[in-house]
């Protein structure tokens, strides 16, 4: 469970320190605001400390000695009112500023992280689960909120508060101050013990709620099955056990909660009793003033809140550090970063593609392509034929430089593809993948993506070219038809047509089609066939073929087996040759004939 990792994580002290320093660096642009909020914090503390002092002044200088001075009372009352007003205003502003800083920093980190992830190569996405990436950008960033908005500044505020109270106490009465500060370590120890236990329990409780949630979700989805198999009792018992475990932690939370704060109140009362007892002797001799006692009683009560907050700093720092570590793991990963700035910019390529003795693997020493060489001339249609796993799709991945090759060279228009600007290169090569991905939005936005230079007319033209216009125009909202849940309201064939239209709308020099034929009704199948023929006319076209009948007219057919090129040539040439291709083709024909 990721959540509980936070506590037992064995990040070394040094690493933790360097992480915190890295995090603190994000404060830099907001230094003036930060300083302002610390200044406000100090002033808030002053207002808190001054309030009992004002009343002490009234008590000792007027009430205890019996001087009636209504105008002084009014005057002091107004000062008190001013202090309250300023204190309230400052608290509001301080919270606002701190939240602003926190949100801004989280905004910065989140964007930095997202931009970084966008620029990662496909390799990164192959290796990192989408759930993990999602958590980095969402929950992990949110977990930093505590540090940036509040905890650090507030702990400064709290420390100043405690020091402030102690100084004020000493300046009023040294002996009473000494008695009072004895309670600080006791309160601190109790608070820390409570915090630790409560935190542990809280994590457990959260995990249990998660498990109950999961259990219910699973069992409601599987309720039909449980009913059919008549396992209600077994399932109920399982649930009861889980619920009981939750009850136990819930009760523990209650007990912990009902102990800590009340115990501290008892300690406060004890301290107060001690103060009174000590001063009773002195008052009787006429040294101590009642107002002083009043102030002390109030100050003693003010100890708990800051100590409690400071105790919280450690735990929130700890969980923030865990999240920070994960975030920086991604941000520090530079090797998988693609450089979008580098390379020769290109407007338009001709579409000549050449592979020269290309060797490639995804995992070390498991060669996927072995010494592959071929040349595709501009405007040609080339088909790749071979089994699943033979390396067809890999060739396409390499053309668009989703991966870099280990040996050999890939040339486009006679230039090594590493020389080109990556983004420019990819804009020239449109790949229509077998598993079509549709974004939420409408059909327009799925064809155009976020490319503003593609007009509505371009979209219509593209749709027409790939024979998708008929089905799109039959939809109630046509091109503005909403695409829901990754396009599951469309059939596989329709999704394929939309992705064809997307490829065509970008006017690439090279179009790559990963032909998908499963689960398509005949009507769409015919549309797709025609679309492929239309597309092939304008540009260099590469087809990964699953059905041989569709590629008979290709200018060149490349047969790949186990990462090597077995045969190359036109349909006629290969048939004449009588090799693998002919075998494949005849087998297919044979079945058609039987049927």
Partner 1 sequence: MRVKQILWDFIKKFKWRYIIGIVFLIITSFITSMIPRLLGFITDSLNNKMPLSDIVRYLIILVGAAVGAFIFRFTWRYFLVGNCRYLECYLREKLFAHMQTLPATFYDNNKTGDLVAYAINDIQAIRRTFGFGFTAILDGVVVNTVSIAIMVRTINPVLTAMALLPTPFIVFILYKLRRKIRERFTAVQKAFAQISEKVQENISGIRVIKAFAQEEEEVEDFLKYSQTRVDTHMRLVRVSAAFWPLTQFMFGISIVFFIIYGSQLVTRGTISLGDYIAFNSYVMIIMRPIVSISRVIEIWQRGMASAGRLDKIFQEKGEKGSKSIYVVPDIMMRKTEDRKHSLEASYTYESLKGDIEIRNLDFTYPGSDEKALKGINLKIKEGETLGILGTTGSGKTTIANLLLRLYDVEDGRILIGQKDINHIPLKALRESIGYVPQDNFLFSTTIRNNIEFFRPIYQDEQVNLASKMAGVYDDILSFPDGFETVVGERGVTLSGGQKQRVSIARAIIKEPSILILDDSLSAVDTKTEEKILNNLKKVLEGRTGIIIAHRVSSVRYADQIIFMDNGRIIERGKHDELMEMKGAYYRLYQSQIKKERDYYASGRLKVNPGLRT
The separation between the first and the last C-alpha atoms of the chain, rounded to the nearest angstrom, is 55
How far apart are the C-alpha atoms of 104 and 107, rounded to whole Å? 5
How far apart, in whole angstroms, are the C-alpha atoms of residue 539 and residue 512? Answer: 10
Nearer to partner 1, 169 or 516 (CB): 516
* Minimum CB distance to partner 1, residue 18 (Å): 27
Residue placing its CB nearer to partner 1 in the complex, 24 or 225:
225
Shortest distance, CB of residue 247 to partner 1, whole angstroms?
A: 4
Asked whether 484 and 402 are in contact (CB, 8 A), the reply is no
State the number of CA atoms in the 13 A half-sphere of 594 facing the CB. Answer: 6
Do residues 479 and 442 make contact, with C-beta atoms less than 8 angstroms apart? Answer: yes
CB of 456 to partner 1, least distance (A): 18
User: Cβ distance 194 to 257 under 8 Å?
Assistant: no
Residue 18, SS3?
helix
* DSSP label of 28: G
Give the integer Cα–Cα distance in Å for 112 and 117: 9
Closest distance to partner 1 from the beta carbon of 17 (Å): 29
Which of 22/235 has CB closer to partner 1? 235
Measured from the CB atom, the residue of 24 and 255 that comes closer to partner 1 is: 255
CB of 146 to partner 1, least distance (A): 14
Rounded Cα distance, 131 and 122, in Å = 16
Dihedral of CA 62/64/67/71: which sign? positive
Q: Cβ closer to partner 1: 163 or 305?
A: 305
Nearest approach in angstroms of CB 85 to partner 1 is 7
| CB nearer to partner 1: pick between 265 and 537 | 265
Q: Which is nearer to partner 1, 7 or 55 (CB)?
A: 55
* Contacting residues for 288 by C-beta, under 8 A, at least 6 apart: 173, 279, 282
As measured in angstroms, the least distance from the Cβ of 301 to partner 1 is: 9
DSSP 264-301: HHHHHHHHHHHHHHHHHHHHHTT---HHHHHHHHHHHH
CA dihedral (47, 49, 50, 52) positive or negative: positive
> Can you tell me the distance from the alpha carbon of 2 to that of 329, in angstroms, rounded to the nearest whole number?
16
CB of 394 to partner 1, least distance (A): 14
Q: Would you say 20 or 122 has its CB closer to partner 1?
A: 122
Nearer to partner 1, 434 or 478 (CB): 434
Q: Which is nearer to partner 1, 178 or 220 (CB)?
A: 220
Of the candidates 395, 397, 360, the one whose C-alpha atom is nearest the C-alpha of residue 376 is 395
| Nearest residue (CB) to partner 1, 11 versus 397 | 397
The whole-angstrom separation of Cα 514 and Cα 563 is 17
User: How far is Cα 153 from Cα 186, in angstroms, rounded to an integer?
Assistant: 25
CA angle (138 as vertex; 133, 141 as ends), nearest 5: 105
- Distance, CA of 494 to CA of 471 (rounded, Å): 8
Nearer residue to partner 1 within complex by CB, 17 or 423: 423
> How are beta strands 429-432 and 510-514 bridged, if at all?
parallel
Closest CB 535 distance from partner 1, rounded Å: 16
Q: With left for phi above 0 and alpha for psi between -120 and 50, is residue 372 left, alpha or beta?
A: beta
User: What is the Cα Rg of the chain in Å?
Assistant: 37
Q: How far apart are CA 388 and CA 214, in angstroms?
A: 37
CA distances 70 to 76, 168, 403, Å, are 10, 28, 85
CB 109 → partner 1: shortest distance, Å? 10
Smallest distance from partner 1 to CB 436, Å: 9
Query: Closer CB to partner 1, residue 105 or residue 527?
Result: 105
Kindly state the smallest distance separating residue 397's Cβ from partner 1, in Å. 9
Q: At closest approach, how far in Å is the CB of 414 from partner 1?
A: 22
Measure the CA–CA gap between 94 and 45, rounded to whole angstroms. 12
Closer residue to partner 1 (CB): 69 or 193: 69
Least CB distance to partner 1 at residue 347 (A): 14
Q: In terms of CB distance, is 130 or 363 closer to partner 1? A: 130
Give the C-alpha separation, 29 to 17, whole Å: 21
Instruction: Report yes or no: 47 and 81 within 8 Å, Cβ to Cβ.
Output: no
Q: Give the nearest distance from C-beta 131 to partner 1 in angstroms.
A: 9
Q: Does residue 384 contact residue 392 with C-beta atoms inside 8 Å?
A: yes
């Amino acid at each position: 469970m990721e959540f509980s990792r936070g506590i037992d994580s064995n990040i070394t002290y040094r690493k933790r320190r360097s992480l915190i320093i890295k995090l603190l660096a994000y404060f830099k642009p907001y230094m003036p605001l930060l300083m302002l909020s610390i200044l406000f914090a100090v002033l808030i503390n002053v207002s808190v400390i001054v309030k009992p002092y004002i009343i002490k002044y009234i008590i000792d200088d007027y009430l205890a000695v019996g001087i009636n001075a209504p105008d002084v009372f009014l005057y002091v009352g107004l000062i008190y009112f001013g202090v309250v007003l300023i204190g309230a205003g400052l608290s509001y502003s301080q919270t606002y500023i701190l939240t602003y800083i926190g949100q801004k920093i989280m905004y910065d980190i989140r964007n930095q992280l997202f931009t970084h992830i966008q620029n990662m190569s496909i390799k990164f996405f192959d290796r990192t689960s989408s759930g993990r990436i999602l958590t980095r950008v969402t929950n992990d960033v949110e977990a930093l909120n505590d540090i940036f908005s509040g905890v650090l500044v507030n702990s400064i505020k709290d420390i100043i508060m405690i020091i402030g109270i102690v100084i004020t106490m000493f300046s009023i009465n040294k002996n009473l101050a000494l008695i009072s500060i004895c309670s600080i370590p006791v309160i601190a120890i109790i608070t820390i013990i409570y915090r630790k236990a409560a935190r542990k329990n809280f994590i457990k409780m959260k995990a249990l709620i998660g498990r109950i949630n999961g259990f219910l979700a699973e069992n409601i989805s599987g309720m039909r099955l449980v009913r059919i198999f008549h396992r209600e009792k077994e399932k109920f018992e399982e649930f009861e056990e889980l619920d009981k475990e939750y009850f136990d932690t819930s009760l523990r939370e209650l007990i912990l909660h009902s102990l800590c704060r009340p115990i501290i109140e008892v300690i406060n009362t004890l301290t107060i009793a001690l103060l009174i007892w000590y001063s009773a002797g002195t008052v009787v001799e006429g040294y101590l003033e009642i107002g002083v006692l009043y102030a002390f009683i109030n100050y003693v009560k003010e100890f708990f809140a800051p100590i409690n907050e400071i105790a919280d700093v450690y735990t929130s720092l700890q969980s923030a550090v865990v999240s920070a570590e994960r975030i920086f793991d991604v941000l520090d990963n530079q090797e998988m970063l693609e450089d979008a700035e580098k390379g020769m910019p290109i407007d338009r390529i001709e579409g000549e593609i050449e592979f020269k003795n290309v060797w490639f693997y995804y995992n070390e020493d498991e060669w996927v392509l072995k010494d592959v060489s071929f040349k595709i001339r501009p405007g040609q249609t080339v088909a790749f034929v071979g089994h699943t796993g033979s390396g067809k799709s890999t060739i396409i991945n390499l053309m668009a430089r989703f991966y870099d090759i280990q040996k050999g060279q890939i040339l486009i228009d006679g230039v090594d593809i590493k020389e080109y600007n990556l983004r420019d290169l990819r804009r020239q090569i449109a790949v229509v993948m077998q598993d079509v991905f549709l974004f939420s939005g409408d059909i327009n936005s799925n064809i155009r993506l976020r490319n503003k230079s593609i007009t509505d007319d371009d979209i219509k033209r593209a749709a027409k070219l790939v024979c998708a216009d008929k089905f799109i125009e039959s939809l109630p909202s046509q091109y503005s038809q909403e695409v829901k849940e990754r396009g599951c309201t469309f059939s596989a064939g329709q999704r394929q047509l939309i992705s064809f239209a997307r490829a065509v709308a970008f006017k690439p020099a090279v179009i790559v089609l990963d032909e998908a034929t499963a689960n398509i009704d005949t009507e769409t199948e015919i549309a797709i066939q025609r679309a492929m023929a239309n597309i092939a006319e304008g540009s260099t076209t590469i087809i990964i073929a699953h059905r041989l009948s569709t590629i008979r007219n290709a200018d060149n057919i490349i047969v790949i087996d186990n990462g090597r090129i077995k045969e190359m040539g036109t349909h006629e040439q290969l048939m004449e040759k009588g090799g693998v291709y002919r075998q494949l083709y005849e087998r297919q024909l044979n079945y058609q004939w039987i049927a």
